[in-house]
């Protein structure tokens, strides 16, 4: 079971005048200097009946329903220290506010890395990535942050700091509490620090980018590449700048990577280019950043991700394009992960027709097992729940919320079922 200790209600300094999320003026931004100060600030806010909105690098604030009420923002920007790292153990302990880029630089000095990715890695924080369950194309072969968590410290509204897990990979005692907080959007507690498995850097990396041109050709290419998909780190079909491309990424020993690259080029059936090592990594990061838009982007853009069985992924693209055309538009960008069954797209609401966007999302939810609106103008969010219909597990999730946050202090209204 997790261990727990309490902090005195110390109020952290106010760093900025305020924060706005979905048009709601949240209130001041508090930036504690250490975990005890954060726990104290959270307890003081809870005692005062204030809502608390955790903030990391601010790159994913668009995710979630409209905030239920005003309150304070609690920033982890000063919690950016490396707490424990012995390269031989392949485990690192870091505070939640460290950026992904800063951690990768440290690990890289020892020939290691964390096999995850995020848009704008200089700003994206580890705590934010865990809380939002953010994952990129490499989840196809490397999994997600959830698979790397071995321990965590979390602050709760009663002022306690709860520690679970440890610094060893095979820790089977008690409940796997760190995974409970993964993807909970900060509604059960504020992540203060995390212990994560790391891996040796791959010896070589390469990406084959196939210029499919149109969707039908992209479908055919994906079909031909499915036999090599189990060996790929990432397999994506993308519509960028009006053209379809299929990208396959491999990592490992140089000889194995070269063999797989040659196989893809020979079987793709369309013009292909090969990017090696740094050039390969830069291509994927640029694609991630382009799809996410600017971290402070404030335009009438809707981003939606729909999930189906992997074998139905490319067929879902047809349905999405059909629904977009029915509403008099077309996606600006489309990203398809056929190996994991995810189709994500961005649609520019230049005319600001929020009803049109709501109809489109409703139509998509009839075709997809799970459709999440990752980002949308507040006018669209007022018309729907961005997470979709409440899942069968909602009663369990509400019970967890009542246990960890009975007064609904943390991110009220923003998560599944508006908990």
Q: Where are the beta strands (DSSP E) in 119-222?
A: 149-155, 160-165, 190-197, 199-200, 204-213
pTM recorded for the entire structure: 0.92
What is residue 61's predicted lDDT score, i.e. its pLDDT? 94
Tell me whether domains 204-278 and 301-381 share a fold: yes
What is residue 292's predicted lDDT score, i.e. its pLDDT? 87
What is residue 359's predicted lDDT score, i.e. its pLDDT? 93
Fold (CATH) for 82-200: 3.30.465
Q: Which residues of 314-332 are buried (b: 16+ CB within 10 A; e: fewer)?
A: bebbebbbebbeebebebb
Domain 301-381 belongs in CATH node 3.30.70.2810? yes
What is residue 165's predicted lDDT score, i.e. its pLDDT? 82
Q: Which CATH class is domain 3-77?
A: alpha beta
What is residue 349's predicted lDDT score, i.e. its pLDDT? 78
CATH number for region 204-278: 3.30.70.1150
What is residue 301's predicted lDDT score, i.e. its pLDDT? 87
The residues near 29 (Cβ < 8 Å, ≥ 6 apart) are 14, 15, 16, 17, 18, 19, 55, 72, 73, 74, 75
Can you give the residue ranges of every domain in the chain?
Answer: 3-77, 82-200, 204-278, 301-381
From first to last of the 419 residues of the chain, give the pLDDT tens digit: 455 444 444 455 555 667 899 999 998 999 999 999 999 999 999 999 999 999 999 999 999 999 999 999 999 999 999 999 999 999 999 999 999 999 999 999 999 999 999 999 999 999 999 999 999 999 999 999 999 999 999 999 999 999 988 877 655 455 578 889 999 999 999 999 999 999 999 999 999 999 999 999 999 999 999 888 889 999 999 998 889 999 999 999 999 999 999 999 999 999 999 999 999 999 999 999 998 887 666 567 899 999 999 999 999 999 999 999 888 888 989 999 999 999 999 988 766 789 999 999 999 999 887 999 999 999 999 999 999 999 999 999 999 999 999 999 999 999 999 99
Q: How far apart are CA 211 and CA 217, in angstroms?
A: 9
Count of C-beta atoms within a 10 Å radius of residue 134: 23
Count of C-beta atoms within a 10 Å radius of residue 159: 21
- Contact criterion met (CB below 8 Å) for 411 and 419: no
């Amino acid at each position: 079971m997790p261990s727990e200790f309490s902090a005195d209600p110390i109020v952290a300094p106010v760093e900025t005048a305020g924060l706005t999320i979905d048009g709601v003026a949240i209130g001041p931004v508090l930036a504690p200097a250490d975990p005890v100060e954060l726990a104290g600030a959270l307890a003081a806010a809870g005692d005062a009946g204030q809502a608390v909105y955790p903030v990391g690098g601010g790159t994913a604030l668009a995710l979630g329903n409209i905030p239920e009420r005003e309150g304070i923002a609690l920033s982890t920007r000063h919690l950016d220290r490396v707490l424990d790292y012995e390269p031989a153990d392949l485990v690192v302990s870091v505070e939640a506010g460290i950026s992904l880029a800063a951690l990768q630089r440290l690990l890289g000095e020892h020939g290691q890395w964390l096999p995850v990715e995020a848009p704008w890695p200089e700003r994206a924080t580890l705590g934010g990535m865990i809380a939002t369950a953010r994952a990129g194309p490499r989840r196809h072969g490397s999994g997600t942050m959830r698979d790397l968590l071995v321990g965590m410290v979390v602050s709760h509204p009663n002022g306690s700091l709860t520690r679970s897990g440890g610094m060893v990979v095979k820790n089977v005692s008690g409940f796997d509490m760190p995974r409970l907080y993964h993807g909970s959007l900060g509604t059960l507690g504020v992540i203060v620090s995390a212990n994560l498995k790391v891996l040796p850097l791959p010896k070589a990396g390469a990406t084959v980018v196939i210029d499919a041109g149109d969707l039908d050709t992209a479908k055919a290419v994906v079909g031909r590449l499915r036999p090599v998909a189990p060996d790929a780190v990432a397999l994506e079909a993308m519509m960028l700048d009006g053209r379809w491309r299929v990208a396959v990424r491999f990592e490992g020993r140089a000889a194995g990577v070269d063999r797989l690259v040659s196989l893809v080029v020979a079987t793709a059936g369309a013009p292909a280019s090969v990017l090696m090592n740094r050039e390969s990594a830069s291509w994927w990061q640029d694609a991630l950043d382009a799809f996410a838009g600017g971290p402070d982007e404030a335009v009438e853009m809707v981003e939606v991700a729909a999930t189906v069985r992997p074998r139905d992924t490319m067929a879902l693209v047809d349905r999405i394009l059909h629904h977009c055309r029915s509403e008099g538009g077309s996606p600006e960008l489309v990203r398809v992960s056929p190996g994991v069954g995810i189709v994500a797209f961005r649609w520019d609401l230049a005319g600001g027709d929020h009803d049109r966007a709501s109809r489109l999302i409703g139509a998509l939810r009839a075709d997809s097992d799970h459709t999440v609106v990752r980002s949308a103008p507040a006018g669209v969010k007022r018309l729907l729940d961005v997470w979709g219909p409440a899942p069968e597990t909602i009663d369990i999730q509400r019970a967890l919320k009542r246990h960890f946050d009975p007064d609904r202090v943390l991110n009220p209204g923003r998560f599944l079922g508006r908990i």
